[in-house]
Amino acid sequence: MTHFDVVVIGAGAAGMFAAMRAGQRGRCVLLLEHTDEPGRKILISGGGRCNFTNLGCVPERFLSANPHFARSALARYTQHDFVALVRRHGIAFHEKTLGQLFCDGSARQIVAMLLAECAAAGVALRVSHRVTDISRADRFTIATDHGDFSAESLVLATGGLSIPKMGATGFAHDVARRFGLPLVTPRPGLVPFTFDGAMLDLMRPLAGVALPVVARAGRAAFAEAMLFTHRGLSGPAVLQASSYWAPGDPVTVDLAPGHDASAALLAAKRARPKAEPRTILADLLPQRLAQALAALQLPPRVIGEVADAPLKALGALLNRWSLTPAGTEGYAKAEVTLGGIDTAALSQKTMEAKHVPGLFAVGEAVDVTGWLGGYNFQWAWSSGWAAGEAA
């Protein structure tokens, strides 16, 4: 059996950061990964350019049963700290929108940076290692298909359940449960909605149509783009809303943000009575959507011959389209997993389990989930750093 001070399980964003920081402190660190490649999710993130943080990162943009939990870690390793690291490695980046920072080149640069930092900190990285058992006496024993390791500190960094084909597992949740740590029920987040019946019949032919909207679910509202898909709705506004949505609840979409659609339709009726409603609607909406909604909601007449009431009703629908999704695309398409290891069981300063000294949990495995736009990687860096400082 080989002994290390710290064993980190999962070489994703949070695991590499925790290993790096612990190594920088002089700890002897082993980083175990079960796939053959570290940082796979980083590689596919942000369309291959990795939206690695957000300039507007504040604790209010994270979901958790304890909305204050993330404050400490986010304050001690901030988005500006990560930006400074990226600059030190000479990686060119740009702000795309809403504070979102992306590599100019490729997400591979972020993985290469993390691997270089881990190597400089003396971290031993072993890929294609399957953990078969974990036990704890005076120290942790981690059994793998390549032999056993022991450690004073064990960091769970195996992420959530999203995108199983990328290597996601419920491993951290299972280990947490085994050590008596409670879980907040996991569910897919930042995930497209699916619809059925007449609503799907309306949406399916619109697949590919995108427009700016305000999407609301629960207490949250997001002004970003929405995209119709073959199965329902996606796009940033919808993905964001999905994290605040509970099955059976409606989602409200404003298809014409900033416009009073009823007033606009009534004004158009007086100004251009010979125009077809779909032509008028196309001033507010993409043409295909305008055509579909006009056909669904209005009689086939020029707008001057349509009574005010159906025009007002259509306007109200445009500004407050209330939709009840049949469900979501699930973990296969979810960018993140909501829920996870209950923060009540962890120190917010170190990410160590309160009742299991030496056991740490970081990143997406924990019940802290960020908005779309670089927040989830920032949580991975910040929580990884916090654990690496103490493990």
Ligand X SMILES: Cc1cc2nc3c(=O)[nH]c(=O)nc-3n(C[C@H](O)[C@H](O)[C@H](O)COP(=O)(O)OP(=O)(O)OC[C@H]3O[C@@H](n4cnc5c(N)ncnc54)[C@H](O)[C@@H]3O)c2cc1C
- How many helices (H) and strands (E) in the chain? 13, 21
12 contributes a contact to ligand X by CB under 6 A = yes
157 contributes a contact to ligand X by CB under 6 A = yes
167 contributes a contact to ligand X by CB under 6 A = yes
Q: Tell the smallest beta-carbon distance from residue 97 to ligand X (Å).
A: 13
Mark the segment that binds ligand X (CB under 6 A) among 31-39, 133-141, 220-228, 257-265.
Answer: 31-39
CA Rg value for the chain: 24
- Classify 246 as helix, strand or coil: coil
CB closer to ligand X, 254 vs 364? 364
Mark the segment that binds ligand X (CB under 6 A) among 69-77, 135-143, 233-241, 358-366.
Answer: 358-366
Sign of CA dihedral 192, 66, 70, 161: negative
- Classify 92 as helix, strand or coil: coil
Burial 31-40 (b: 16+ CB within 10 A, else e): bbbbeeebbb
Q: What is the DSSP string of 20-82?
A: HHHHHTT--EEEE-SSSSTTHHHHHGGGGT-EEEETT--GGGEE-SSTTTTHHHHHHS-HHHH
Give the separation between CA 52 and CA 43, rounded to whole angstroms: 11
Q: Tell the smallest beta-carbon distance from residue 213 to ligand X (Å).
A: 21
Query: End-to-end alpha-carbon separation of the chain, Å?
Result: 20
- Give the number of residues written for the chain: 391
163 contributes a contact to ligand X by CB under 6 A = yes
Other C-beta atoms closer than 10 Å to the C-beta of 137 total: 7
Q: Tell the smallest beta-carbon distance from residue 391 to ligand X (Å).
A: 15
Q: Tell the smallest beta-carbon distance from residue 257 to ligand X (Å).
A: 25
351 contributes a contact to ligand X by CB under 6 A = no
Q: Tell the smallest beta-carbon distance from residue 157 to ligand X (Å).
A: 5
Residue carrying structure tokens 């957000």: 54
Answer for which of 345, 380, 387, 390 binds ligand X (CB under 6 A) is 380
Q: Tell the smallest beta-carbon distance from residue 169 to ligand X (Å).
A: 4
Answer for which of 8, 14, 241, 289 binds ligand X (CB under 6 A) is 14
Query: Site map for ligand X, 33-72, x if CB under 6 A?
Result: xxx----xx--xxx---xx---------------------
Answer for which of 291, 319, 376, 382 binds ligand X (CB under 6 A) is 376
242, 217 contact by CB (below 8 A): yes
Which residues on adjacent β-strands are paired with residue 327?
A: 194
23 contributes a contact to ligand X by CB under 6 A = no
Which class for 185: exposed (0-12), middle (13-18), buried (19 or more C-beta within 10 A)? Answer: exposed
CB closer to ligand X, 16 vs 268? 16
234 contributes a contact to ligand X by CB under 6 A = no
Mark the segment that binds ligand X (CB under 6 A) among 201-209, 273-281, 317-325, 361-369.
Answer: 361-369
Q: Tell the smallest beta-carbon distance from residue 243 to ligand X (Å).
A: 12
335 contributes a contact to ligand X by CB under 6 A = yes
**What are the backbone angles phi and psi of residue 17, rounded to the nearest 5°?**
-70, -40
Interface with ligand X in residues 100-119 (CB under 6 A)? none
Residue nearest to ligand X (CB): 12
- Classify 171 as helix, strand or coil: helix
Residues in touch with ligand X (CB under 6 A): 9-15, 32-35, 40-41, 44-46, 50-51, 131, 157-159, 162-163, 167-169, 171, 335-336, 363-365, 374-377, 380
